[in-house]
A and B are shown apart, each in its own frame.
Chain A
Amino acid sequence: EPEVTQTPSHQVTQMGQEVILRCVPISNHLYFYWYRQILGQKVEFLVSFYNNEISEKSEIFDDQFSVERPDGSNFTLKIRSTKLEDSAMYFCENRGIGETQYFGPGTRLLVL
Chain B
Amino acid sequence: ELKVEQNPLFLSMQEGKNYTIYCNYSTTSDRLYWYRQDPGKSLESLFVLLSNGAVKQEGRLMASLDTKARLSTLHITAAVHDLSATYFCAALQGGSEKLVFGKGTKLTVNP
Contacts and interface: CB of A to CB of B under 8 A. Distances in A.
Decide whether A and B are members of one complex.
Answer: yes
Interface of A: 33, 35, 41-45, 48, 55-56, 58, 91, 99-101, 103-106
Given A43-B90, A48-B97, A91 B42 contact: yes
Interface stretch (B17-25, B73-81, B98-106): B98-106
Contact of B45 (A48, A91, A103): A103
| SS of B interface (majority) | strand
A60 to B, nearest CB: 11
A105 B42 contact: yes
B88 A42 contact: yes
Contacts of A104: 42
Contact of A99 (B41, B48, B104): B48
Nearest to B43: A103
A106 B41 CA distance: 8
Interface residues of B, number: 20
User: Considering the complex of A and B, which 8 residue pairs feature the smallest CB-CB distances, nearest first?
Assistant: A48-B97, A43-B101, A56-B97, A103-B42, A103-B43, A42-B103, A42-B101, A101-B45
Interface string B78-111: 0000000000101000001111111110000000
Interface string B29-46: 001010000000111110
Given A42-B88, A42-B102, A106 B42 contact: yes
Contacts of A106: 41-42
Nearest to A105: B42
